[in-house]
Chain A
Amino acid sequence: MRIMLARRFAPSAFVLIVAIAWLSVDVPARADSVEQAPPPNGVIAYVLTTFQPAVYQTADAKAECPNGLIANHVEQYEAQFPTEEARKAQREKYGYFHNRGKNGENVHWFPESIVDPVPFREAGGKVAFGLNLDGKIGPNDFVSPDGEAGIDNELYRVLGCIAGWRDGGAMTFQNEVRMRDNPYNRILFVLSGVDNLVNDNDVTIRTYRGLDNVPLDSLNKGVPGSTQRIDFKYGQRFMHVFKGKIVNGVLTTGPADYVMPWSIVGDGRFSADEQWYRDTRFRLKLDADRAEGLIAGYVDVAKWWWAYTKRTAGKLDDYVRNSPPSVWVALKARADGFPDPVTGKNTAISTASALRFVRAEVINLPKENTTQRVASASAKN
Chain B
Amino acid sequence: MSQDEYTYAISDLFGPDVAVTLTVPRAPRVGGLLAVGTGVASVTPSMVELIHRNSHLVADQVVDVSRREFLVPCKPVAVNAADAACADKFLTTVGRRLFRRSLSEAERASMVMIAGESAERLKDFYAGLSFTLAGMISSPQFMFLKEIREPDPHSPGRMRLTGYAKAQRLSLFFWDSVPDEQLLRAAENGDLHTARGVAQQVDRLVMSPRLERGVRAFFSDMLAFETFADVAKDAVIYPAFTQAAVAEAKEQALRMISNHIVAERGDYRDLFTSRKTFLTPSLAILMGIAAPAPGWSKYEVPQDSQRVGLLSQVGFTSLYAHPGRSSPTRRGKAIRELVLCQKVPDPPANVDFSGFEDTRGKMNTARDRLTAHATNPVCAGCHKITDPMGLALENFDGAGQFRTTEGDAAIDPSGTLDGIAFNTPAGLGKALHDSPAVTSCLVSRLYSFAVGKAPGVNEKDYLEKLKAQFANAGYRVPDLMRMISNDDAFFRSASEPTTVTAKAP
Contact = CB atoms under 8 A, between A and B. Distances in A.
B244 A212 contact: no
Interface string A213-225: 0011111010111
A4 interface: no
A342 interface: no
B459 to A, nearest CB: 43
Contacts of A378: 288-290
A379 B294 contact: no
A379 B291 CA distance: 11
DSSP majority for the B interface? loop
A373 interface: yes
Given A215-B285, A379-B301, A381-B306, A363 B240 contact: no
**Interface-centre pick from A223, A362, A375 (highest chain B CB count, 10 A):** A375
Contacts of B300: 376
A378 B244 CA distance: 24
Contact of B290 (A217, A224, A363): A363
Given A215-B285, A373-B290, A223 B306 contact: no
Contacts of B294: 212, 227, 229
Interface string B386-409: 000000000100000110000000
A215 B244 contact: yes
Interface residues of B, number: 29
A378 B402 CA distance: 13
B402 A375 contact: no
B281 A379 contact: no
B361 interface: no
Contacts of A223: 239-240, 242, 285
Contact of A381 (B239, B240, B285, B288): B288
B292 interface: yes
Nearest to A381: B402
A227 B292 CA distance: 8
Contact of B302 (A215, A218, A379): A379
A312 B287 CA distance: 42
B235 A375 contact: no
A375 B402 CA distance: 15
A174 interface: no
B284 interface: yes
Nearest to B302: A379
B288 A379 contact: yes
Interface in A214-251: 215-219, 221, 223-227, 229
B299 A375 contact: yes
Given A217-B242, A223-B240, A379-B302, A374 B290 contact: yes
A226 B281 CA distance: 6
25 contacts: A212-B294, A215-B282, A215-B285, A217-B239, A217-B240, A218-B235, A218-B239, A218-B242, A219-B235, A219-B239, A223-B285, A224-B285, A227-B284, A361-B284, A361-B290, A363-B290, A376-B300, A379-B288, A379-B289, A379-B301, A379-B302, A379-B307, A381-B288, A381-B395, A381-B402
Interface of A: 212, 215-219, 221, 223-227, 229, 361-363, 373-376, 378-381
Given A223-B242, A227-B284, A363-B293, 18 more contacts: A215-B242, A215-B282, A217-B235, A218-B235, A218-B242, A223-B285, A224-B285, A225-B288, A226-B281, A229-B294, A361-B291, A362-B290, A363-B290, A374-B292, A375-B291, A378-B290, A379-B287, A379-B288
